[in-house]
Structures are given as C-alpha cells and as structure tokens.
Chains A and B, each alone.
Chain A
Amino acid sequence: MSAKRVFKLLGKDFSVGPRKPFFIWALLMPFALTLLFQFAFGSLFEPKPRLGIVDLGDSAITGEVRELEGFEVSVLDDVEELLRKVEEHDLDAGLVLAAGFDEAVKAGEKPALEFYISGESLASNRIIITVTGIEMIRDLEGGEAPVEVETVYFGEPGLPISIRLVPVIVFYALAMAGMWVPSSSLVEEKERGTLTALLVTSATVNEVLIAKWLLGFLFATFLAAVTLLLNQAFGPRPLEVMVVIIVAAALASMIGLLIGIYSKTATMLFTLIKSLGIFLFVPVVFYIFPEWPQWIAKFFPLYWIISPIWEVSIMGESLSLVWFELLVASAITLALIPPALLMKKRMLT
C-alpha cells in the first residue's frame, strides 16, 4: 500500500472530476435545493398574509405596514395594479390610503376606507389583515385602548419549516457527494475499462478503493459544510459541527463505495441508488414532521449522522450530547469495511 499512489489516484479523480456530469450535479444540487427550499417551499408551507398598499398621500400607516412582522407587504404606486393583483390573488388584500387620510381620521371625519380582499384568500388571512389594519387606524386616532391585554407564552418557539428542511438539504449534499460521486466514478472506470488499465500498473485494488472513498469523503465534507453555511445553520459551535460532518461524510462515502463496488453497470448503480435512497432518506422525514414518533428513525442507518447534525448545528448542542450517535455512525462505517474488502473481488471479474 502506497499513500503516494493513493493521492495520485485521488488527484486524477479531482482533475478529471469537474468535467463529469455527476460531479457537476453533486456540486450544484445543494445550491439548487437551498434555493428551492428556502425561497419556495419555505413560503409554501407557512404562507404569510400578503398585503398591498397604495398611499396617495403621506400616511403614517404605510411606514407602520412596512415594519409589520409576519406579513408580506408590497407598496404600489397604482390603484389599478393593486386591484388586479388582489383579484388575481397575488395579494390577499389591498389598501388604498387617500390623500389626507390620517388628518381625516384624527379630525374624527370618519373617512371611507378603500379596502379590498381577494376572493381566493383564506378566511384566516382576511381576519388577520382586517384586524391589523383596524388596529393601525385606531393608533392614528390616538388615545388609550379601553382594555389592558397581556400575553403569556408557554414553551419554546417552534422552528420554522425552512430550518426543519435543512436536514433534507444536508442529506442530499452527503448523498450526492458521498454516495453518488465515488460510486459513479468507480462504475464509470469499470464500464470504460480504465479500472483494468489502472490495475495492470503498480496500483492495487485497495489503493483505488481508498482513493475513491477519499474522493467521496472530501467532497461530502466540503459540500455538507457549504450547505450548512448557505442555510446559516452552522450554529454557535462550528468546530464541533465540522467533527460531526466528518463522521457523516465518512459513513456516506463508505456506503457509496460499497454501492460502487457492487454495481457492474451504470444502470445497476442507478437502480441501487434509487431503491436504497428511499430507505436512507426515511430518517430525514422525521425532522420535517417532529410530531411523528421519533424512535422509528433510529432503525435507519443515516439517523446516526442526521441526528448529530441536527443537534449540533441547528440546535446548538455540544458534542457531548451526541457522542453515542457519533460512535454508532463510526461503528457502522468500520463495520462496512469487511464487506467492501470481500466484495472487491467482484470488481475484478
């Protein structure tokens, strides 16, 4: 076994890799998923009331509306555009503030409120926007409310869906880089005969396998870290997060190596990844739906890497809380070495 040859093989994979479609896809996938989940699905699962406003004077309400939390606010210039957007349900509601509206309210003139609601908006959004609007108008009027309202909170605030989806994106980073890249690279070498060519040189099968594993490991570590950074989910303990990512990448690329060793053709590889993918993906779903019984997730191997990522990066816990999970993940990685060595003969036939 020569470390120098392993690194030469690894260097070859890294220099040829960027031209391969699977390499490019593995690189692009976490970015694409981050965009999709954070911007699209984040607002799909938790849609916020969307209010449009046209201010024909200089109402204080417009400033207040812009500061509102939990709303999507658009300030428009044109009443016609506002009406069209409300009718097409691009907005849940629209408010037109006539010139001198604030002064009229303060003077007790009871001006007419030009307010529109989209027929397709949810009843809950209608109430939220209407009551909030009335509150702002009452504020304009001045004076003290004839009631004291105190709010008492119970428990900790729940995590938004965009954060709960982070394990999904990290899973894809690990799966694409850790599993897909080394296995595709190995299968491609088998199909094109370059593996046979390599093995007639002084390079051994073990060296090739270690180089492929390292390829997946380094790439998965990098992509998982970048994914967490992109999603601002590195947490308060970045070094500890890196330890978790390293353990996760080691396991993911070991699974990828096994798949690569077993698959004789790209078709077989694709079928294996697709079928195994569902099995491997299951623990991730439990983070999207925290109300499901969480113990079921422990039956799936990737639970032992997704759980530490969740705890340390998103929940900000320390490594001491997840040492057992990391131990199990490392044990699984080590336990997969003997099958890989046993199956390597399959590559030579």
Chain B
Amino acid sequence: MKKPVSKGSLLISILKKDFRVYSRNMIYLFLTILGLAFFVAIFWLVPDTVDEEINFAITPPLEALFSEGKETLLAHGFPEENLGQLEEAESAFEEEEGLFLVEFENEELLKKVIQGELDIYKTNESSFVIHDPGGEQSRPENADKINLDIGMSFPATFLSDAVLGQKPKVTIFADASVPDELRGVMEGFVREMAYQLAGHELPVELPDEETIILGQDRVGEQISMREKMRPLIAFFIMMMETFALASLISNEILQRTVTALLVTPLRTWHFLLAKTIFGTALAMGQAVIILLLIGGFTATNWHLLLVTVLLGSLLFTAVAMFVGSAGKDFIGQLMYSMLFLIPLMIPSFAVLFPGSVATWVRALPSYPIVRLLYDITIHEIPWADALWFLIYAASWTLVLYGISLVVLKRKVSLL
C-alpha cells in the first residue's frame, strides 16, 4: 500500500508535465523567444523623443535683417523710441515655442537646402554646418541632420518697407510635400509680422497663456512613442501566451489525456488549478522579463506594476482556458483565439492615439489592464489613483475566470 499523495505534489506533477509539454512544443518555444527578442528590438528602435517643433529657414540672418531695418528707419527719421516694435518682431522669431529657426546668409543656399541639394546639420555646440552630400567631404561628426522643408526669403528692406507701409514682397520656398496647414502657417506668420510692424494691432483681445491652456502643459515633455510602447509590449506579451495555453488545453481535450489523468487520484479542480497557475506564471514570467529588459520597473512602481501584470496574466489565462475548452485542432484553435483576442487588443491601440478613449472601448475587459500599465509605466501613478482601475480589472478577471472554469469543468466532465 502506498501512502496517499498530497494535493501539493499532485499539483506540482501536473505543472511539471505542462512545462515539459510546453518546452517540447517547438513552435511556441520558438515564437516565445522570437517574440521577446522582437519586442525588445522594436522598443529600442522606436524614437524616444517627440519632434514637436516646426523647422524653418530664413534669409538673411535675423541680425542682418533687423540691423539694416533699424538703420533705414532711423535714416528716414523714424523716432528711435518707436523701434521697440522691431524688437518684439525679432523675439517672435527667436522665442516662440514650437519654432526651430535656421538662418542662411543668402537665398541660393536656402533654396539648395530646401531642394535637398545640400544638407544642414546641427552640432553638439548648437552651431549649424552645411554639407554637400554629393561632395567629397564626409558628413559632420557629432551632429544631427535637420529636416528643412520650408524657408522664407525676406528682402533686405523688409522691416523698413513694412513699417513705412510700402508692401514688401516675401518669398516662401517649400518642398511640394509640405502639408497645406504648415505652408499656411508660414504665410500667416509673415503676414502677421507685417501687420504688427505696420502698426495694425490684433482686432481681438488675446487671453493670457495661463488661462487658455487646459490640463497639464506638456510642451517639451511630450510622451514619446518609445514610452507608449512600454505598456503595449507588456500587454502583448501576456496576450500571446493565450495561444500557448489554449493549445495545451486543446490538445489535452482532443487527445483525452485529461480523462487519463482523472483515473489517478487527481480531481478536476487539481487540473483546473494547475492550468491556472501554469498559464498565469507563464504570462507573468515573460511580462516581467520584458518589462525588466525595457526598463518598465522603477523603485516606486514595481509593486503596483507586479499586481497589474498578475491581474493581466490571470485574465488572459481565463481567455485561454475558455478557448482551449473548445478542443479544436491547431488551425481551428488559432482562429478561435483570434476571435477573442482581436477585440481585447483594441484598448492597446487606443493608447497610441491622442485623446480620451471611446466609451465602448472602456467597457472591454482588457481596458483597465492597458490603462493601468499605461498610467503606472508612464505617469507612475500611486496606489490610490490606481485603485478604481484595479477593482475594475479584478472584477473583469473574476467574471472571465469564473466563466472559463465553468466551461472547462463542464467540458472535462463530458469527456
């Protein structure tokens, strides 16, 4: 007579068996490793900065333009104390947030850069270097190429002409691919400067900057695509494990191994619990590894992030158990999984878009998980701010897990 086997050792033996089956399934092992490598590579390839400035060129350089303008005006007897409006116009060019200005000595150089015949680089010392890509000189080192698609050529007498009401002519050179709105803004910018110089004040009262900005002002601190990819990658890694676990369960049902197991001291709930633990550990383990590789954990967010990843892993384990209980063949199970996973993917794409998420997207079970991953990894929200979404995520997980348990248990008992 053998002594009775403990529940713990029964569970461990199923987990060991599942792990063996998983590691022998070359397709999922291959996809897991490929997926991890692919996502890490993608993360480090996407840009980590947000280009929110409009690059544009002008000629002649501001200093030359304004000093000549001032001299001409003084020569015309323009009172020196009224030259303040010129300084305002100059600062509009130099200090306006969102504009990046490159100055050229002459129109020929500006045109060649816009046409792409010459390149312009900004060095680490913030100086500009013009480089001929077809020439013999190598491209400047420690310098970043600047994309210049639009530039303005002012006549040397622009300021004095505008102030004296002589209607100067400004030419804007633009690459044909420049969007309409950008071309329009450059034309508008020149016109508005001329209005101001000519003494035509704005026909409206503009409000203060502080009163017109709603929400946290993120100029200069925009969230980069790389930062947005971090929660997305963790989410996709958890989701991908649905295929593996669903396939594992499908095979047990198709091949009736579960009925063979149930003639041992093993009970159905052992089987269900083992699948839950295995699926959750698999998804969570990989999500944690990837988050470590892409710098998702910080000293302040690790505990909250771990709880979220645990909830997400459990949610996808529940989906996998439901899909797997259908006991379909490989292709059938793959397609069946997609039916559930595509809707669950939608909230993750919503993260990439600016603005709030549609109400129906918020109702999807994966939404609170995506939202938590986003808020924790990007905004480092504390527990108190995460509480509502944690409850929301836990509720969905419990509902889906409950349904999956019932469906899978019923399937096992009918075999």
Q: Taking the complex as formed, is B190 at the interface, i.e. its CB lies under 8 A from any CB of chain A? A: yes
Q: How close is B98's CB to chain A, nearest CB, in angstroms? A: 3
Within 8 A of A (CB), among B188-219: 188-195, 197-198, 200-207, 212-219
Range class of the B interface residue count: 35 or more
Q: What total of chain A residues lie within 8 Å of the partner, measured CB to CB?
A: 76
The segment from B64-72, B266-274, B324-332 found at the interface with A is B324-332
A87 touches B214 (CB 8 A): yes
A88 touches B355 (CB 8 A): yes
C-alpha gap A153/B329 in the complex (Å)? 59
The segment from B46-54, B363-371, B382-390, B404-412 found at the interface with A is B46-54
B203 touches A137 (CB 8 A): yes
Question: With a CB–CB cut-off of 8 A, which chain B residues contact A70?
Answer: 179-182, 184
Question: A135 and B184 in contact (CB under 8 A), knowing A110-B203, A127-B96, A154-B176?
Answer: yes
Question: With a CB–CB cut-off of 8 A, which chain A residues contact B217?
Answer: 119
B194 touches A127 (CB 8 A): no
Taking a contact as CB atoms closer than 8 A, the residue among A88, A140, A149 that contacts B356 in the complex is A88
Q: How close is A152's CB to chain B, nearest CB, in angstroms? A: 5
B335 touches A111 (CB 8 A): no
Taking a contact as CB atoms closer than 8 A, the residue among A71, A91, A105, A127 that contacts B203 in the complex is A105
The list of the 4 closest CB pairs from A to B, nearest first, reads: A123-B98, A70-B181, A158-B177, A147-B194
In the complex, 28 of the A-B residue pairs with CB atoms within 8 angstroms, ordered by the A residue number, are A25-B338, A46-B179, A70-B184, A88-B356, A105-B204, A113-B204, A114-B207, A117-B213, A118-B213, A119-B215, A119-B218, A124-B54, A128-B185, A131-B184, A131-B192, A132-B184, A137-B204, A138-B195, A146-B167, A148-B168, A148-B170, A150-B170, A151-B171, A151-B174, A152-B173, A155-B116, A158-B177, A267-B330
Q: Taking the complex as formed, is A193 at the interface, i.e. its CB lies under 8 A from any CB of chain B? A: no
C-alpha gap A111/B205 in the complex (Å)? 6
C-alpha gap A119/B220 in the complex (Å)? 11
Question: With a CB–CB cut-off of 8 A, which chain B residues contact A155?
Answer: 115-116, 175-177
Within 8 A of B (CB), among A180-196: 184, 188, 191
The B interface is mostly helix, strand or loop, or mixed, namely: mixed
Question: With a CB–CB cut-off of 8 A, which chain A residues contact B98?
Answer: 122-124, 126-127
Q: How close is B68's CB to chain A, nearest CB, in angstroms? A: 17
C-alpha gap A134/B191 in the complex (Å)? 10
Question: With a CB–CB cut-off of 8 A, which chain A residues contact B215?
Answer: 86-89, 118-120
Q: How close is B387's CB to chain A, nearest CB, in angstroms? A: 21
Question: With a CB–CB cut-off of 8 A, which chain B residues contact A141?
Answer: 203
Q: Can you name 8 extra interface pairs (CB under 8 A) apart from A40-B349, A270-B330?
A: A70-B184, A113-B206, A116-B212, A117-B212, A118-B213, A140-B203, A147-B191, A150-B171
Question: With a CB–CB cut-off of 8 A, which chain A residues contact B77?
Answer: none
Q: Taking the complex as formed, is A83 at the interface, i.e. its CB lies under 8 A from any CB of chain B? A: yes
B181 touches A49 (CB 8 A): yes
Taking a contact as CB atoms closer than 8 A, the residue among A91, A148, A191 that contacts B167 in the complex is A148
B188 touches A131 (CB 8 A): yes
Question: A271 and B191 in contact (CB under 8 A), knowing A22-B331, A116-B212, A138-B203?
Answer: no
Which one of A24, A88, A120, A271 has the greatest number of beta carbons of chain B within 10 Å? A120
A123 touches B52 (CB 8 A): yes
B173 touches A154 (CB 8 A): yes
B52 touches A21 (CB 8 A): no
Taking a contact as CB atoms closer than 8 A, the residue among A22, A125, A138, A152 that contacts B171 in the complex is A152
Question: With a CB–CB cut-off of 8 A, which chain A residues contact B391?
Answer: none
Question: A149 and B96 in contact (CB under 8 A), knowing A44-B353, A140-B203?
Answer: no
B204 touches A112 (CB 8 A): yes
Q: Taking the complex as formed, is B378 at the interface, i.e. its CB lies under 8 A from any CB of chain A? A: no
A154 touches B114 (CB 8 A): yes
Which one of A21, A22, A47, A266 has the greatest number of beta carbons of chain B within 10 Å? A21
A132 touches B188 (CB 8 A): yes
A147 touches B168 (CB 8 A): yes
A112 touches B177 (CB 8 A): no
Question: With a CB–CB cut-off of 8 A, which chain B residues contact A188?
Answer: 331
Taking a contact as CB atoms closer than 8 A, the residue among A115, A154, A265 that contacts B175 in the complex is A154
What 1/0 mask marks residues of chain B from 111 to 125 whose CB sits below 8 Å from any chain A CB?
100111000000000
Q: Taking the complex as formed, is B30 at the interface, i.e. its CB lies under 8 A from any CB of chain A? A: yes
Question: With a CB–CB cut-off of 8 A, which chain B residues contact A25?
Answer: 335, 338
Q: Taking the complex as formed, is B402 at the interface, i.e. its CB lies under 8 A from any CB of chain A? A: no
C-alpha gap A27/B335 in the complex (Å)? 13
C-alpha gap A274/B26 in the complex (Å)? 13
Q: How close is A237's CB to chain B, nearest CB, in angstroms? A: 24
C-alpha gap A39/B309 in the complex (Å)? 31
B175 touches A90 (CB 8 A): no
Within 8 A of B (CB), among A62-101: 68-71, 83, 85-91
Q: Which residue of B lies closest to A36 (CB)?
A: B349
B219 touches A123 (CB 8 A): yes
Within 8 A of A (CB), among B32-52: 34, 50, 52
Q: Which residue of B lies closest to A101 (CB)?
A: B204
Taking a contact as CB atoms closer than 8 A, the residue among A43, A87, A131 that contacts B189 in the complex is A131
Question: With a CB–CB cut-off of 8 A, which chain A residues contact B299?
Answer: none
